[in-house]
Amino acid sequence: MTSVKQNVQSGLIWRWLFIGQLRAFPFRYIFAALSIAIGIALGFSVHLINASASDAFGDAVRNLSGSSDAQVAGATNLGFDEQLYPRIYRLAEVADVSPVIEMSAIFGGTGERVKLIGIDPFRAAAITPTLLGRQENSGEQSAGRTGGQTAFPINAVHLSDAAFTLSKAKAGELLKIRANGATHEFQVAGDLPGIEAGQAVAVIDIAAAQWRFDRLGVLDRLDIKRAENSTQSSLARALEKMLPSDARLSGAENEIKKRTSLSRAYRVNLEMLALVALVTGGFLVYSAQSLSAQTRQQQFALLRILGLQKNSLQRQLLLEGLALGLVGSVLGIILGYMSAYLILTIVGSDLGGGYFSGTPGPIDVTITAVFVFLGLGILTAMSGSFSPGRRAARLHPAQAIKASTGSLQNTEHPAWLPGILLLLIAGFLVWLPAIDGLPIFGYLAVAAVLAGAIWLTPWLARTLLTPLTGIVRRSVAFDLALHHILRSPAQAAAALGGIVASVGLMIAMVIMVSSFRTSVDNWLESILSADLYVSGGFVETSFDPDQQKQISQLPGIAVVEFSKTMNVSLDPRRPPVNLIIRPVQSSNYRLSLIDTTKQDIAGIPIWISEPAARIYDLQVDQNIRLPIGARGTSVYVAGIWSDYARQQGALVMESEDYDKLTGDFERSELAISLQDPENVDAETERLKRQIGNIAGSDPEISNAAGIRNIALQLFDRSFAITYGLEAVAILIGMVGVGATFAAQVGTRIKEFGMLRHIGFGRRKIIAMLAYEGMLLGLVGLAAGVASGLAISQILVHVINPQSFNLTMNTSIPYIVLLGISAALLVTSGLTAIFAGRRAAATNALRAVKEDW
Amino acid sequence: MQNGHPLILESLSKILPNGRELFTDINLTLSNGEFISIQGESGIGKSTLLNLAAGLDMPTRGEVIVAGQSLTGLSETKLTDVRGRSIGFVFQAFHVLPFLNLIQNVSLPAILTGDRRDLALQKAADLLHEVGLGDRAYSLVSELSGGELQRVAIARALVHSPALILADEPTGNLDPSTSSEVMDLLTQTVKSTDAAMILVTHSAIDAASADRQLMMTATGIQDLDD
Amino acid sequence: MYRITAVVMFLGLFLSAATWAYSSQPIYPEVTSGEEFAFPRDHGSHDAFRTEWWYFTGWLETADGDPLGFQITFFRSRPEMATDNPSKFAPQQIIFAHAALSDPQTGKLIHDQRIGRAGFEIIEASQKDADVSLLDWQLTRTATGVFASKVTGQDFALDLKMEPSQIPMLNGENGYSRKGPKPSQASYYYSVPQLKVGGSVIHGGKKLAVTGRAWLDREWSSDVLPENAVGWDWTGLNFDDGSALMAFQVRGADGDAVYAGGSFRSAEGKQIILSPDDIQFKPRRIWTSPETGADYPVEAEFVVRLDGEWVRYHLEPMFDAQELSGAFTPTYWEGAVSTSGGRGYLEMTGYAGKIAL
């Protein structure tokens, strides 16, 4: 009964004490709450961006596929035989089918890209009414009684709002559309009220699409409505049984999942990094609470002697953590929302990753997410408070009340065994494979390295700094600073936890990004061997054999080679891979092979990219079936090449093999070696004109240097967010240094007073603190750099291969690292001086009398 | 009002973890209102004896009975409870919480033992008045001198009407004139209640104001009056 | 010809928008007199002509003796579009079907429809015999000459066998039926009255066995109505004695007939061709549609001169509310009617505002 009563009463006391503490050391608590806020803000904003992006994508897919129960899509963008349409229609499980042609197209006037869809409006009316157009002059919604929706002029095009904007066309005007190498003029008949804002879609009649864009006899998609008396799974079974190899089953949900998984690894990387930042915040709370508990050691002892129960004491410290966590999390959620909004508006919902296009949807905040992140922040802050609280409660009150601040821990010898164990565990974890495509164990290894490094910090401090005592000393201040740290390595460790975590993380990310960028740069250099590349990169440019011949006879060209890129689905649950048709190794085209067959195998060879090898678990010499031709084609893996461009995987097939297999001689891209490579710009202009005349449309021509610049620009854009994270990590590191020193200096007012008594001037005290700050910074830097190097290797060799499916070579940006190190040391010293000036400013003589 | 004697020490022995025998077989009984002083050299075990009496340390042998309650075998929680309820402390280093005002500091023990807040604050106000700081109840600690701080500590030791006051060198940090003021105040204030008091001190003058003067030596504890 | 307009209406935009874009337009054959019909070939589709239909109307009776009216129509239309589009999805032919069920007990007419471009054997009209597939809706003619049709709409379904008891009745001049003052404004037109119906109807969630009598109209043509026509009134009546009457008038803007025609065939098979002067249509009772506000003369008289003698056929609707409006059709009234000694269907168009062509 008394203890229940005491809870209520001690709550009152605690309020007095907490408010008193807040008044006395506001910065200590503000830093702790801020570090939680930053971690939560990062995690929450990345989460919000993810949620909004996948929602936007899901809406888009559902919007375009309407209420279909299932979809059959071409395994390649060559489509599939249209006779599949009646065969599927006749299945007992099928109620209705809408055949669809789908192409990437370009508006003639503006050159803007649009998704071109060909439908039979009569069939689409029942299944995908969102694709039906509205006649501009009728002003009546498509469901109107006069049948506006079915009156689908065969040469008309209906445009979504976004497509209207991109095409700059008006209703009734003629609009040139280019797709699959052909251009045709359509009359803009009206809009597509069912298509969501931001989606650029043009809908034409399916017969016109087949005829005008050379797709006769094939379809790209069938939208299927299930018969009332059948189930979704029986429909899927019936469809799968009859699909030829060039068609695959894909439900709308499937499509969303697939596209989302494409960028999932990228996003998880960010979200996990954000959470690591949060954990760093947790360490800062731990630092702050440890120091605060040390400061208040005698207060706690007094309260215990006066009758405060042990449990109450620990609970109260936990409650302090909760208060910090709550304030920090609420702040973090607000900051997170604001930064998500800014990022979505400025960078776009793909974080600059180039995965999605279109305008971002509204930010999708769920109550659940808010509470999860609120809980995470509070939990982190409370765990940071747990151990200091327990330590405070366990102190012997009679000893503690007499002991000087922090002195009880001075006798501890820094233990190194648990730290080494943690590092060994990390060493073991990096060998484990990804779970469900996510490098969970890799992240655990990162956590283990961080924890191990922090554990080893006191040992490291002693080991690193002890030799310094032997050095001839000229400065008493330096000597005192050195001994203060050596005397209390545990206190130093508490102070350094946050610094080590943030420095380690920061350095790891700097090294990872630099390695990635250097590898991409080298790779680009190795593959871009031609002078000029011609194409839009999409199917809308196409050269038939005759045009190819004309182009190769153009003057000024030393060697020209043709290629083609199409999408091929190897597994319906995964995004399609790129199948590239081209010469494998020639003067214009090269592969940077990392593995190649040593045998002489009969059959058709293909060369697969490293991501493809990892995703589909393929080795050299292995046989696979490609969905080319109605019955598919068996090919073998002749080599594996490194590729940073296509995360979903890519395959290269020799041109002659493809020609023999398909009889399709059309090519969409070409690579040119010039006779006069010095004169690239003028030659580009001339060839652009001449090839344009042959192709009947303006080609896109880029030179090797231009492509490399664009690629690196894209790279930098997609890593902009990681640079942002780095900046935040630096911020956390500095906050850590600041908070730690503010707290430490607070505990030592009496010491300073004593020093003043024995003739130490203010300046000397400040110098001492500056030395201390720099020595601590040095230790933190050493531990941080070491753990950062280790973590960067985990990122480079474990996490990135597991989530992006690509490897890279480590490249350490020494200059950047030196800069960071110098900045950290200087900041540590400056913060210490700042804290010291405040300390020295208080009445030191009087402080001797005080025990607090 | 109390069950039996405020404090009984029976055959008390304390051997330190390093094997040094601090004292053996100490017997001491305090009656209500009795005031004894203990002198002795530094490190002889005076503070340890106080810690044992307060249940902050455990004897190697023997028994401690505070206000009729034997401390032997009590749980940490129960010990804290007995301590908070029956004992008041005055320390050499004052130990007045710097972030609280005087009345908050004084009312702490009463609130911890579960008194109603308004009653605790009222009592604290009365006691502050008694120690001559009635008009500064809401001042902050930093505005006080050492003597004033110790007055606050005396008020705090009495606020929850303990059976026993343990004062460990209460004048150790004070100059001589303040010392005697504080000693007088302590003696008078404690005498005005029914509480017994043990005063541990180096000062023979302070010790002399006690009802009984004890001297602690390596051989044990002797009554100086004998 | 009422049906021509129905189809042309919904293809209106199709035709107009397609015209400017294509050079190779389809050539529609002209309807001329003197052509001989040949069966079963002429039960099948005449793909070259602009429009064609198989139009069944009739009275049914359930086992409980409750009457129902029904209508099943398959239209074929050859749109004006490029004939050189090689895509199999090119709309060379559009098939449209419409079915309705009139129930006097509920006083309601329910109907549904299907539409699509011919192709892939999913949607098809045979040129050899009556054999039309439109997704899940079917019309066939069996080896024994029985017409069979299965249609499933929302809330109802019809599965009917319709057996001719008489040879086809060729309307107009041996099947050359004029619609206007110009000779080209004509269609090939025959009717099969006195079809004996058996089969089942799903209605109100129940499957009901039905018997009854029906009428088939077959018509194909290329030209449209006279420019000054705003609507028409048509009836086809099966008499209990085995005789049959078909009569129509095309109405102008002033409500007067622009053209009229018809056929009467006695039980013995003697056929009388009715010229415009032989037919008068007289409204007797007006019903206002609560949905569209259109006024229909749901009770009316066709006064017909048979062998110089004027005969009055007073038509009573099964019930008033047999107006139709659908996504692909104009709003019109098409309902089961009875007259003394006979039953049939009456169709009236151009009452729900002016029909825009």
Domains, chain C: 2-349 (2.40.370.10)
Q: What is the pLDDT of residues A377-411, one digit of tens each?
A: 888 888 878 877 888 888 888 877 776 544 444 44
Angle, in degrees to the nearest 10, between helices A489-527 and A720-746: 170
Q: What is the CA angle A384-A386-A387, rounded to 5?
A: 90
Q: How many domains does chain A contain in total?
A: 4
Question: How many whole angstroms separate alpha carbon B143 and alpha carbon A485?
Answer: 34
> Cβ contact (<8 Å) for A304 and B80?
yes
Judged by a CB distance cut-off of 8 A, whether residue C92 touches chain A is no
Average pLDDT estimate for A720-743: 65
What pLDDT score was predicted for residue C315?
92
Of A699, A717, A752, the domain-final residue: A699
Chains A and C touch (3+ CB pairs under 8 A): yes
Assess whether pLDDT exceeds 50 at residue C228.
Answer: yes
Structure tokens at A586: 């020639």
Q: What is the pLDDT of residues C106-120, one digit of tens each?
A: 988 998 888 888 989
Shared domain for A545 and A690, answered yes or no, is: yes
Chains A and B touch (3+ CB pairs under 8 A): yes
Judged by a CB distance cut-off of 8 A, whether residue A502 touches chain B is no
Of A376, A393, A409, the domain-final residue: A409
Average pLDDT estimate for A515-526: 78
Angle, in degrees to the nearest 10, between helices A297-305 and A310-346: 140
Average pLDDT estimate for B39-51: 87
Is position A517 within any domain?
yes
Assess whether pLDDT exceeds 70 at residue A429.
Answer: yes
Q: What is the pTM of this model?
A: 0.56
What pLDDT score was predicted for residue A633?
83
A131/A729: higher pLDDT = A131
Shared domain for A329 and A467, answered yes or no, is: no
Judged by a CB distance cut-off of 8 A, whether residue A456 touches chain B is no
- Give the domains, in start order, of chain B with CATH numbers: 7-223 (3.40.50.300)
What pLDDT score was predicted for residue A261?
45
Question: How many whole angstroms separate alpha carbon C297 and alpha carbon C346?
Answer: 10
Do A192 and A158 contact (CB within 8 A), yes or no?
yes
Mean pLDDT of chain B: 86
Assess whether pLDDT exceeds 50 at residue A447.
Answer: yes
Question: How many whole angstroms separate alpha carbon A600 and alpha carbon A638?
Answer: 9
Q: What is the pLDDT of residues A254-266, one digit of tens each?
A: 554 444 444 455 5
Q: Which of A640-654, B120-134, C198-212 has the lowest mean pLDDT?
A: A640-654
- Neighboring chain B residues of A402 at a CB cutoff of 8 Å: 93
Question: How many whole angstroms separate alpha carbon A486 and alpha carbon A476?
Answer: 15
Report whether the peptide linkage leading into residue C40 is cis, meaning its omega lies within 30 degrees of zero: yes
Is position A257 within any domain?
no
Shared domain for A650 and A693, answered yes or no, is: yes
Do C348 and C235 contact (CB within 8 A), yes or no?
no
CB-nearest to B112 from A308, A398, A851 is: A308
Question: How many whole angstroms separate alpha carbon B119 and alpha carbon B100?
Answer: 18
What pLDDT score was predicted for residue A48?
78
Beta bridge partner(s), residue C123: C119, C134
- Neighboring chain A residues of C328 at a CB cutoff of 8 Å: 147, 150
Q: Which of A419-433, A663-677, B193-207, C158-172 has the lowest mean pLDDT?
A: A663-677
Question: How many whole angstroms separate alpha carbon A602 and alpha carbon C316?
Answer: 84
How many Cβ atoms sit within 10 Å of the Cβ of residue B36? 19
Q: What is the pLDDT of residues C250-298, one digit of tens each?
A: 888 888 888 899 999 998 889 999 989 899 999 999 999 888 888 899 9
Residue with tokens 């007012």: A749
Nearest chain A residue to B57 by CA distance is A398
* 475-514 in chain A: CB under 8 A from chain C: none
Assess whether pLDDT exceeds 80 at residue A433.
Answer: yes
Is position A370 within any domain?
yes
What pLDDT score was predicted for residue C78?
86
Assess whether pLDDT exceeds 50 at residue B1.
Answer: no
Exposure string for C208-240, b = 16+ CB within 10 A, e = fewer: bebebbbbbbbbbbbbbbbeebbbbbbbbbbbe
Assess whether pLDDT exceeds 60 at residue A145.
Answer: no
Judged by a CB distance cut-off of 8 A, whether residue B80 touches chain A is yes
What pLDDT score was predicted for residue A359?
45
Assess whether pLDDT exceeds 70 at residue A140.
Answer: no
Shared domain for A747 and A623, answered yes or no, is: no
Assess whether pLDDT exceeds 80 at residue C226.
Answer: no
- Neighboring chain B residues of A311 at a CB cutoff of 8 Å: 77
What pLDDT score was predicted for residue A557?
83
What pLDDT score was predicted for residue C15?
34
Shared domain for A45 and A150, answered yes or no, is: no
> Cβ contact (<8 Å) for A207 and C89?
yes
Judged by a CB distance cut-off of 8 A, whether residue A135 touches chain C is yes
Size of interface A-C (CB pairs under 8 A): 88
Q: Which of A93-102, C33-42, C74-83 has the lowest mean pLDDT?
A: C74-83
Q: How far is B199 from chain A (nearest CA, A)?
A: 17
pLDDT confidence band for C150 (50 / 70 / 90): very high
A346/A539: higher pLDDT = A346
Is position A457 within any domain?
yes
Non-local CB neighbours of A649 within 8 Å, separated by 6+ positions = A570, A577, A578, A608, A609, A611, A612, A613, A615, A616, A805
Percent of chain B residues past pLDDT 70, beyond the cut = 98
pLDDT confidence band for A120 (50 / 70 / 90): confident
Assess whether pLDDT exceeds 70 at residue C14.
Answer: no
Of A354, A374, A409, the domain-final residue: A409
What pLDDT score was predicted for residue A726?
64
Question: How many whole angstroms separate alpha carbon B20 and alpha carbon B43?
Answer: 12
Residue A574: helix, strand or coil by DSSP? coil
What pLDDT score was predicted for residue C61?
92
How many Cβ atoms sit within 10 Å of the Cβ of residue C164? 17
Residue A810: helix, strand or coil by DSSP? coil
Percent of chain C residues past pLDDT 70, beyond the cut = 89
Average pLDDT estimate for A331-357: 67
Half-sphere exposure of A235 (CA within 13 A, CB side): 25
Judged by a CB distance cut-off of 8 A, whether residue A702 touches chain B is no
Assess whether pLDDT exceeds 90 at residue C237.
Answer: yes
Exposure string for A380-395, b = 16+ CB within 10 A, e = fewer: bbbbbbbebbebbbeb
Q: Which of A536-540, A659-663, A738-742, A768-772 has the lowest mean pLDDT?
A: A536-540
Judged by a CB distance cut-off of 8 A, whether residue B123 touches chain A is no
- Neighboring chain B residues of A3 at a CB cutoff of 8 Å: 77, 81
Shared domain for A372 and A232, answered yes or no, is: no
Shared domain for A723 and A598, answered yes or no, is: no
Q: What is the pLDDT of residues B160-181, one digit of tens each?
A: 889 999 998 888 888 888 888 8
What pLDDT score was predicted for residue A780?
85
Q: What is the pLDDT of residues A553-593, one digit of tens each?
A: 888 888 888 888 777 878 766 777 888 888 887 777 777 78
Assess whether pLDDT exceeds 90 at residue A603.
Answer: no
Assess whether pLDDT exceeds 50 at residue B32.
Answer: yes
A549/C213: higher pLDDT = C213
Highest mean pLDDT among A236-250, A798-812, B66-80: B66-80
Do A747 and A406 contact (CB within 8 A), yes or no?
yes
Question: How many whole angstroms separate alpha carbon A165 and alpha carbon A358?
Answer: 12
Distance of CA A659 to the CA centre of its chain: 39
- Neighboring chain B residues of A20 at a CB cutoff of 8 Å: 97-100
Shared domain for A806 and A761, answered yes or no, is: yes
Shared domain for A799 and A778, answered yes or no, is: yes
Shared domain for A403 and A496, answered yes or no, is: no
Non-local CB neighbours of B109 within 8 Å, separated by 6+ positions = A306, A307, B84, B88, B156, B157, B159, B160, B162
CB-nearest to B98 from A306, A310, A852 is: A852
What pLDDT score was predicted for residue A214?
86
Q: What DSSP string runs through A7-48?
A: HHHHHHHHHHHHHHHHHH-HHHHHHHHHHHHHHHHHHHHHHH
Q: What is the pLDDT of residues A745-796, one digit of tens each?
A: 666 766 777 777 777 777 777 888 888 888 888 888 888 889 889 988 888 8
Shared domain for A592 and A497, answered yes or no, is: no
Residue ranges making up the domain that contains A689: 536-699
Shared domain for A268 and A222, answered yes or no, is: no
* 55-74 in chain A: CB under 8 A from chain B: none
Mutate which: A1, A305, A401, vs B, most B CBs within 10 A: A305
- Neighboring chain A residues of C115 at a CB cutoff of 8 Å: 122, 150
